[in-house]
Chains A and B, each alone.
Chain A
Amino acid sequence: MMFKLSDMRGDAMQTVIVARNEILKFLRSKKFLMFGVLVAVLLVLTTFLPYALGDSISGSAGNVFSRYIGYASLLVLLGATLFASYTIVSEFEERTALILFTRPIRRSTVFLGKFAACFALTAVVMVVYYLVAVAVAFAVSGSFVSSSLSSLSMCLAYVFATTGVAMLISSLMRKGGSSAVLTFITILLLVSVVSAVLSMAGTDTWFMLDSASNAISNSVPEYVSGMNDMVGEMGTSLGVSVEGALVETADCVRSGGVMMAWGAATLALSYLVFSRREF
């Protein structure tokens, strides 16, 4: 029993070491810089462009916050593409596995460390993004956006899910570039195409990743009413009924559960592939 406990402590220490090294890898690479610059540009444009174009600096906290929240899922996708899609394949492509895997370390420890690093990097960037959005909303309206926490929790669940999908692709691919492209296409296009086909067949696609990820923005009531107002105006001007296109406030428990399930399933599969992968 004592041995097992010390063994687990050793594994936990090694997980932290692998995660720290992985974070250092991304921090020193151009990928993180690119991601950081993109997020900063997006924040600056979302904050100042509407006012530069003549919008008045006013509105409720929820309305101001809604301007930012629409881009969150795209940023999460970029994070998964830049970090998680690269993390496993790079050990084989760059032959660093020859150094790391021949050491007294379990594959599960390496996998956990890499997952922790990729999840943490994207999650931290998203938390900063949310903090800026909430701060701007507070500065404009003087009140706190109560739905920002539920939106953030949905966003983190989406980070978990996309990290799982990206790591699964990374475990299967031989080249980092192909893994990144396939991750981006899979999450952005393939999942949406499958959802669209299922919808056309009359299936409710609540279990699909793209549908569940809508909860990031649809958990904010002001975003939902803003979208519905816009859809309603379009319908009126076109003279068509838009009842089917109206957005509903998200069921956060169900959407969060779906995203966690996607993450858990893809991570389990990814580990299975990674643990059996040979050099």
Chain B
Amino acid sequence: MDKNPIELVSLRKEYGRFTAVDGLSLGIRRNSFTGLLGPNGAGKSTTLKMMTNLIRPTSGQVFIHGYNVTEEPKEALAGVGTVIETPEFYGYMTPRENLRYIGEIIGMTPESISAQSDEILEKVRMTGWADKRMSTFSKGMRQRIAFGQALLGDPEIIILDEPTSGLDPRGMAEMRSIMKEFRGNSKELTVMMSSHILHEVQDLCDRVAMVNCGKLVFNDDISAVNSMAGLQTMVLKTEDVSEEFVRDRLRSLSNVVTVDSDGTDTLVRFRGSRSKLFTDIAGLGIGAYSLSEGDSLETKYLEIIKESR
């Protein structure tokens, strides 16, 4: 029961001399939300495509529910919802017809397809477009339907490749809100998503896996990202003093490791207590008027990617 629902074993994909994925082994825990991060060309999409039987591994295996995806795709992909890249739909069909087609393929009854389609279309704010042919839909509208079709049949596993790509800011927020809703539900659901938007991963995921040059370079709880090197990041805003003066004064603090400035904000990386840092900065006389938590995932991501090059 506690066995990982997704297991990647020594996964490798070569295109001629280029190795897109290089011996990747990764277990995705049951009921976890795992973010897959990595720079462009790191092998994220290739990995997700091998997980969904769109491409075959050169060597290694992907197991979903204990079934090898390449050898037993029908068994492995049962109960799996996917959005890979920005898929296209059958333009001659309406969203409702597209959902019915996918629902039939995965073996849902006409009644449950009908009931769940209405619910999903409402959830992705596409009810008003439910009966219009999709050939004229914008990328954002298609992405909403793509996300919706992944939810059909109440999947136990959802695999998402940049799920908010192509959506406007409101659409992104709505998709995140739907996913958070799922995380809050007690039902069985394991999600693996790749994203370039780090705060989206920080916001939604409880686990993070980082890949670079096709290799797994980090895989842990997202909370471990902050504590791994014991470094934290805060963003400081000051007024009426020079940048140089601020930097010099901050560097004089014993718990501060690095100080960087981008012209408006100062990024302070430090060890130890945040309240102590706050008290220390207040006593520096550098015109500090704001101290907020920095994006630790971004900091950690950049560090790990830099180290693994």
Q: Please choose the segment from B79-87, B259-267, B269-277 that sits at the chain A interface, where 4 or more of its residues have CB less than 8 A away.
A: B79-87
Report whether B92 and A278 are in contact in the complex, using a CB–CB cutoff of 8 Å.
no
Report B280 CB to chain A, min CB distance, Å. Answer: 53
Using known A-B contacts A24-B93, A103-B102, determine if residue A94 contacts B84 with beta carbons closer than 8 Å: no
The reply on A38 being an interface residue by CB < 8 A is no
Q: How far is the CA of A278 from the CA of B91 in the complex (A)?
A: 22
With contacts A95-B87, A104-B75 taken as known, whether A28 is within 8 angstroms of B92 at the C-beta atoms is yes
Within 8 Å CB of B49, what residues of A?
278-279
A104 and B101 contacting across the interface, CB-CB below 8 Å: no
A10: chain B residues at CB < 8 Å are: 74, 107
B65 to nearest A CB, angstroms?
11
Interface of A is mostly: helix
Q: Which residue of A lies closest to B93 (CB)?
A: A24
Q: Does A102 contact B (CB under 8 A)?
A: yes
User: B40-75 vs A: 1/0 string, CB under 8 Å?
Assistant: 000000000100111110000000000000000111
Q: Say yes or no: A102 contacts B92, CB within 8 Å.
A: no
Asked whether B84 lies within 8 Å of A102 as measured between CB atoms, the reply is yes
Question: CA of A103 to CA of B157 in the docked complex: distance in angstroms?
Answer: 12
1/0 contact string of B99-129 vs chain A (CB within 8 Å): 0011011110000000000000000000000
Give Cα distance in the complex from A18 to B55, angstroms: 21
**With contact pairs A106-B73, A278-B54, A279-B55 given, residues A98 and B105 touching in the complex (Cβ less than 8 Å):** no
A276 CB to nearest chain B CB (Å): 7
CB pair B55–A17 under 8 Å, yes or no, is no
Contacts of B53 in A (CB 8 A): 101-102
Asked if B188 CB lies within 8 Å of chain A CBs, one says no
Q: With the chains together, A105 CA to B85 CA distance in Å?
A: 20
CB distance from A279 to the nearest CB of B (A): 4
Which chain B residues lie closer than 8 Å to A279 at the CB level?
49, 54-55
> How far is it, in angstroms, between the C-alpha of A24 and the C-alpha of B98 when the chains are bound?
12
Query: Of B73, B75, B85, B104, which is within 8 A of A98 by CB?
Result: B85
Chain A residues contacting B102 (CB-CB under 8 Å) are 99, 103
B88 at the binding interface (Cβ < 8 Å):
yes
Of residues 209 through 267 on chain A, the ones whose CB sits less than 8 Å from some CB of chain B are: none
Cα of A24 to Cα of B90 in the assembled complex, Å: 10
For chain B, what secondary structure do more than half of its interface residues adopt (helix, strand, loop), or is it mixed?
loop
Which one of B77, B82, B86, B92 contacts A29 once the chains associate, using CB atoms below 8 Å?
A: B92
> How many residues of chain A are within 8 Å of chain B by beta carbon?
29
Question: Which B residues are in CB contact (< 8 Å) with A7?
Answer: 74
CB–CB B78/A104 < 8 A: yes
B276 to chain A, nearest CB (A): 50
**Taking the nearest CB of chain B, how far is it from the CB of A1, in angstroms?**
17
Instruction: Provide the residues of chain A in CB contact with B74, threshold 8 Å.
Output: 7, 10-11, 104-106
A14 to B78, CA, bound (A): 13
Report the bound CA distance from A279 to B55 in whole Å: 6
Point out which of B55, B88, B107 has the most chain A C-beta atoms below 10 A from its C-beta.
B88
6 contacts between A and B (CB under 8 A): A10-B107, A103-B102, A103-B105, A104-B73, A104-B80, A105-B74
Given A103-B82, A103-B102, A104-B73, 8 new contacts (CB under 8 A): A21-B101, A98-B54, A99-B87, A100-B105, A104-B79, A104-B105, A106-B73, A278-B56
